[in-house]
Structure 1
Amino acid sequence: MTKEQLIAKFKELYGADGEVRAYFAPGRVNLIGEHTDYNGGHVFPCALTLGTYGIVRNREDRKLRFYSANFEKLGVIETSLDELVPDEKANWTNYPKGVMWAFEKRGYKLPHGLDILIYGNIPNGSGLSSSASLEVLTGLILKDTFGFDGVSMIDIALIGQDSENNFNGCNCGIMDQFASAMGKKDHAIFLDTNTLNYEYAPVVLEDAKIVITNSKVKHSLVDSAYNDRRQECETALKELQEVMDIKTLGDLTEEEYEAYKDAIKDPIRQKRAKHAVYENQRAIRAVAALKDNDVELFGKLMNASHESLRYDYEVSCEEIDILVDLAQAMPGVLGSRITGGGFGGCTVSIVKNDAVDHFVDEIGKIYEEKVGHKAEFYVVDIGDGAKTL
């Protein structure tokens, strides 16, 4: 849907009076550095040109009215600024409400309500961060509407993470919100999640494209397995801290991990910590490879990342492994891995330009035969972060 179509739909729902404003916040794909963002490591995401659009108008009372063009059957969901509490019946509106709650908790009082229409073209449950995109969108709307000039885009990312952790109950790291808020066209963000130091690295893929494959297996991250992994890593870190002076698993080199891993008392926790340490080092090396124009090495590190997520971190699943195995065996594919929280969602692959059509046809056909449903493919461009339209 275009901006004009969304504004027309907004006026049809809420009436034509008053000034309406339009906003956009992108989804993201993480090229490498998975499950490192809550372990004090590095990540390497980029913002996509897919994302979430918001059309907004001020109200004079404290009422909030939400409508999603993606969930038309739910109609307009009404609540108010006096009811910023998580509620199962509130459905998707718990995400924008959580951001409003997090703003107010920081002392940014919201003086009046809003009418909001949302439309996203990120496939739901795909692991491309539709929830973070919606959180960052809401943060930008509040900053702009209420003149919160002291709130930076990094603050908006942190507020989005806070709302997801403490309002919606998913213990996510900062990566998704940071990528949506701070994205830059044709660049990925090399982010140290421990310090929030970051740099933009140009993603120049001579003769290759980023292809995202959606397994169409949905997962919910507000989900025990994700929080379990986080807990296992926190326990492993505590055990290591008894024998060495570190603040996060991201502080360790592979050699240090191997020297001290026996301090971790449980073999499962050892595997989880190993992934966090090795994946962080892979992310650091991958960015260096890209700077050296060594896309082949970047691809090999992506493959190694998937191996680790499959066997050490155990967040892959049968359908994703089928997609990755098919991709890695195909000529013209430089690297392929699961991306996002795991347990379904998407893979990200770097594919030579002249192999893209074959990649989509061949993998699409075999995947459907093996799994019984179709995958979706997106040849993506790297876009800017959240903005007013």
Structure 2
Amino acid sequence: MTINYGVLLGFVPSNDSEVLLQSGQFEGVIRFRVDDLQKPIDNPENINWESYARGAVYALQNSGYDLRKVGIAYLLALENVNDLVISSVDNIQLDKSIENKYLGLENGILDPSAILLSRYGCLTFMDCKTASPSYVYFSELSKSQQLQGQLPFKILLALSGLQHNLPKKCGYNTRVLSAKRLPVLFCTLQAVKKHQIYFVMCVLEENLSRRAEHYFSEMKRVAKGELITCRDAWARGNLQELGQLISASGRSSILNYECGSKEMIQLYEILLKAPGVLGARFSGAGFRGCCLAIVESDRAEEAAAYVAAEYEKAQPELVSRIPANRRVLVCEPGDSARVILPDGDRLRS
């Protein structure tokens, strides 16, 4: 699922191979050429706002695509102006190449999958092994009534004020690498009985045991193994159950996967206490950025005001860096990323 807030990237084709980047938020003018060989970033301290644009060129170059024309920013823009037809599934892998190989971030495919494959009113269920999505409507009984803005909940997006790049902080990559030390558990999940899994976990190092607990409990919450799963709760339109599972995921991220900074954990806990909030968690790894919450539609503004006030008490310096009208956003579910043409038509990714 995406939200109805995002970043607009305006782009025009040029007659040469130079990329020119300007931002309304960041200073400076960036220039580079699409026919220059882009090399992975060795030092995370060198990552800045232009890096994803260079990374998009890197990913396309290393996948054999010939770039002659120029678009301002990222994969979809470069593909559009170079007349490249690339599927969403292939773009997910290209984005993974940017993150893993160019930026040095050890993430998977869930983020780009949500961005490129989401549909309004649906929960996107992603099989990461096959990279194939399926879609679950919110309440199977109301498929025909799910017009834009008519779902019975809102999404709160609460910004923390933390903005460092993930590769600059070792926490996220360290968690991923520690999880990869569990190959026996991961590879034999389908063959090992529950009591055997927990026996193996008991003899692991304490931190690896917690990582395994998070991994398996997340799988249960999403699709199988529990009496109630996120997929089932969403399909039945049961927001209370869905919220409880989202919050349980957030707690496990903190306690078992040991993600999250002090500030992000504070923000998560404030969201859980806000009026009308049904569930909350980090929006990503929990080391920067924001937390999100599912909230009852008629209490969304009240909840947003509560979160903004309480987080400002806890972190006044961080909050002072965020424009007042962006500290807590009241959002609705959105659709996938796409190119918007000058005449208003939309091209899906």
User: What TM-score does the superposition give when structure 1 sets the normalisation length?
Assistant: 0.73
Distance 1:52 1:327, change over 3 A: closer
Deviations 1:11-44 (A, max 9, x none): xxxxxxxxxxxxxxxxxxxxxxxxxxxxxxxxxx
SS in 2 for 1:64: strand
Distance in 2 between residues matched to 1:350 and 1:231, nearest whole Å: 31
Aligned letter for 1:325? E
Equivalent residue for 1:68, pick from 2, 16, 23: 23
- Give the equivalent residue in structure 2 for 1:186: 121
Distance in 2 between residues matched to 1:215 and 1:253, nearest whole Å: 41
Shift of the alpha carbon at 1:314?
1.0
Equivalent residue for 2:101, pick from 166, 171, 182: 166
- Give the equivalent residue in structure 1 for 2:83: 147
SS in 2 for 1:57: coil
1:347 aligned onto 2:291: yes
Shift of the alpha carbon at 1:305?
1.0
1:309 aligned onto 2:309: no
User: What TM-score does the superposition give when structure 2 sets the normalisation length?
Assistant: 0.81
Shift of the alpha carbon at 1:381?
1.8
Q: Which runs of no fewer than 5 residues in structure 1 stay unpaired?
A: 1-45, 119-137
- Give the equivalent residue in structure 1 for 2:333: 382
Distance in 2 between residues matched to 1:64 and 1:369, nearest whole Å: 43
Distance in 1 between residues matched to 2:11 and 2:278, nearest whole Å: 43
Equivalent residue for 2:262, pick from 313, 318, 341: 318
SS in 2 for 1:226: helix
1:233 aligned onto 2:179: yes
1:271 aligned onto 2:226: no
SS in 1 for 2:154: strand
Deviations 1:130-160 (A, max 9, x none): xxxxxxxx222233222333x2111011101
SS in 2 for 1:337: strand
Distance 1:369 1:351, change over 3 A: same
Distance 1:342 1:89, change over 3 A: closer
Q: Which runs of no fewer than 5 residues in structure 2 stay unpaired?
A: 140-149, 224-228, 341-349
Distance in 1 between residues matched to 2:63 and 2:261, nearest whole Å: 39
Shift of the alpha carbon at 1:227?
0.9
Contact 1:236 1:270 in 2 (8 A): no
Aligned letter for 2:220? Q
Shift of the alpha carbon at 1:296?
0.9
Superposition pairs for residues 88-127 of structure 1, below 5 Å? 91-110=48-67, 112-114=68-70, 116=72
Distance in 1 between residues matched to 2:58 and 2:191, nearest whole Å: 33
- Give the equivalent residue in structure 1 for 2:306: 362
Which gives a bigger RCO, structure 1 or 2 (Cα 8 Å, sep 6+)?
1
- Work out the percentage of aligned pairs sharing the same amino acid: 24
Shift of the alpha carbon at 1:271?
0.6
SS in 1 for 2:130: coil
Distance in 2 between residues matched to 1:187 and 1:115, nearest whole Å: 31
Distance 1:178 1:253, change over 3 A: farther
Superposition pairs for residues 25-104 of structure 1, below 5 Å? 46-71=1-26, 73-86=27-40, 91-104=48-61
1:221 aligned onto 2:221: no
Equivalent residue for 1:281, pick from 205, 216, 220: 220
Distance 1:252 1:57, change over 3 A: farther
Distance in 2 between residues matched to 1:154 and 1:142, nearest whole Å: 17
Distance in 2 between residues matched to 1:49 and 1:221, nearest whole Å: 24
Deviations 1:193-221 (A, max 9, x none): 12222212234686422111112223421
Distance 1:271 1:54, change over 3 A: same
Distance in 2 between residues matched to 1:359 and 1:276, nearest whole Å: 31
Higher percent of residues as strand = 1
Shift of the alpha carbon at 1:89?
6.1
Shift of the alpha carbon at 1:384?
1.8
Distance in 2 between residues matched to 1:252 and 1:212, nearest whole Å: 39
Superposition pairs for residues 238-249 of structure 1, below 5 Å? 238=184, 240=185, 246=188
Q: In the comparison of the two structures, how many residue pairs are matched?
A: 314
